[in-house]
């Protein structure tokens, strides 16, 4: 059951906000994180969404 997140991520390489789609994962501390790829340069993107 992998939820999807579609919204804005900040790309560190491009230094700009990008709209992308990513999977939501829960880390060891219980924080939900969306992980995706930058549509322009292909860098991994992460966005912290808060506690699960």
Q: Phi-psi region for residue 14, left (φ > 0), alpha (ψ -120 to 50) or beta?
A: alpha
Compute the residue count for the chain.
52
Q: What total of structural domains would you count in the chain?
A: 1
Please give the Cα distance from 24 to 4 (Å, whole number).
Answer: 6
Instruction: Write down the pLDDT at residue 51.
Output: 81
**Burial zone of 49 (CB within 10 Å; 0-12 exposed, 13-18 middle, 19+ buried):** middle
Range of the domain at 28: 4-51
Q: pTM of the full predicted structure?
A: 0.81
Residue 50: per-residue pLDDT: 84
- In order along its 52 residues, the chain shows pLDDT tens digits of 579 999 999 999 999 999 999 999 999 999 999 999 999 999 999 999 988 6
Looking at the DSSP bridge assignments, the partners of residue 13 are: none
48: part of which helix (H) or strand (E)? strand 44-51
């Amino acid at each position: 059951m992998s939820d999807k997140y579609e919204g804005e991520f900040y790309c560190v390489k491009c230094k700009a906000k990008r709209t992308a789609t990513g999977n939501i994962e829960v880390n060891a501390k219980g924080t939900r994180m969306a992980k995706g790829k930058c549509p322009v340069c292909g860098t991994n993107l992460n966005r912290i969404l808060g506690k699960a």
